[in-house]
Structure 1
């Protein structure tokens, strides 16, 4: 007998940590994120209104690559990786993937983000800037779960591809991308320090 894996969900993982000048670039990104968390009053108001524990520019700023050079440089990195990911997925595209938006996330201890998808995009992802010990992983959900009905659970030692949830633990510089329909969440941040990341969509 043989098993044929079908309808595989491909998650893209890379790291900027080994690239020349990464330490300085990452430190500048962290400073830019913290500066926005202080100066973006509209963003802080959005966070209060939506119960976000920390700061996100998701509800306030849509022009970060035009606003600050650190995000313009980040966009150049992301564009290259998004193109490589789309090629690996065998997408037939009329044009290169286009960055639709990106936003800063400064997650305080105890903060999290419930399960969600990203409508109106086809690739989504996150680049991790500061990941202190105990910081949240990215939790990915098997997209077949709503249809599984009476399917038994799997053994604790089941391969990653057969588990209903997979937790990816990033480090500073880790870049993760997935197709935008893939449901994901950020469990509560158990670290004693802020977890800083930048999320994005390609359309």
Structure 2
């Protein structure tokens, strides 16, 4: 009998330019590098918490007000998140999805970011600023995996929708969005150059 597929885990993937004015990728790249070089608090936090490379997650909470390029970026992200919310049929009532936080990630060769979710948010995502050849993908985990204690593995070549893990290789200028409960990670960066991205969360207000 035909199958009915239930409980979809959606991934939104688009170029930034598909909504709003194009974001200057060169300016965004140079801004990320400049901010990382000057952000001593972020460097110290990254080192203290064993984060390879640099993240502004715990040090700079106001990137859009400090740097115009990030304000431009958020304006475009707002439109993408609104489109994704429509795709997900989210009933926001009188509320809306609003940026909660946004931060820079710089992973050098050998750097990785272990599996995690983003609690207290509705939509999370990342846009990509530098993706050198051979760098790591973004790996998503089936949210049902913890409940599959006695479940057989999937056969080799199983359709992507049935795999417990899916690897996505983004391109510079792309944005990926997912619901914040979806566990994800960045495997080891095998490229010699830095992998640079900007991640963010949106909350329901």
Please list the CA deviations of residues 81-102 of structure 1 after superposition, one character each: whole Å capped at 9, or x if unmatched: 0000011100010222100010
Q: 1:110 matched to which residue of 2?
A: 110
Deviation at 1:151, TM superposition (A): 1.2
- Give the direction of change, closer, same or farther, for the CA distance of 1:191–1:19 in structure 2 (3 Å limit): farther
Please, what is the CA RMSD of the aligned residues?
1.4
| Separation of aligned partners in 1, 2:114 and 2:21 | 34
Unmatched segments (≥5 aa) in structure 2:
none
**1:181: which partner in 2?**
181
- Paired residues of 1:17 and 1:172 also in contact (CA < 8 A): no
Match in the other structure for 1:3: 3
Q: How many residues align?
A: 202
Q: CA deviation at 1:104?
A: 0.2
Equivalent residues of 2:20, 2:76 under 8 A apart: no
Query: 1:68 is matched with which residue?
Result: 67
Q: 1:69-108 residue pairs with structure 2 within 5 A?
A: 69-93=68-92, 94-108=94-108
Separation in 1 of the partners of 2:143 and 2:202? 20
Question: TM-score, normalization: structure 1?
Answer: 0.96
Map of 2:162 onto structure 1: 162
Rounded Cα–Cα distance in structure 1 between residues aligned with 2:18 and 2:10 = 23
Q: Which residue of 1 aligns with 2:45?
A: 46
Distance 1:168 1:136 in 2: 9
- Whether the 8 Å contact between 1:126 and 1:176 is mirrored in structure 2 is yes
TM-score (norm 2): 0.95
Question: In structure 1, how many angstroms separate the alpha carbons of the residues matched to 2:134 and 2:45?
Answer: 27
Moved segments of 4+, more than 4 Å: 17-22
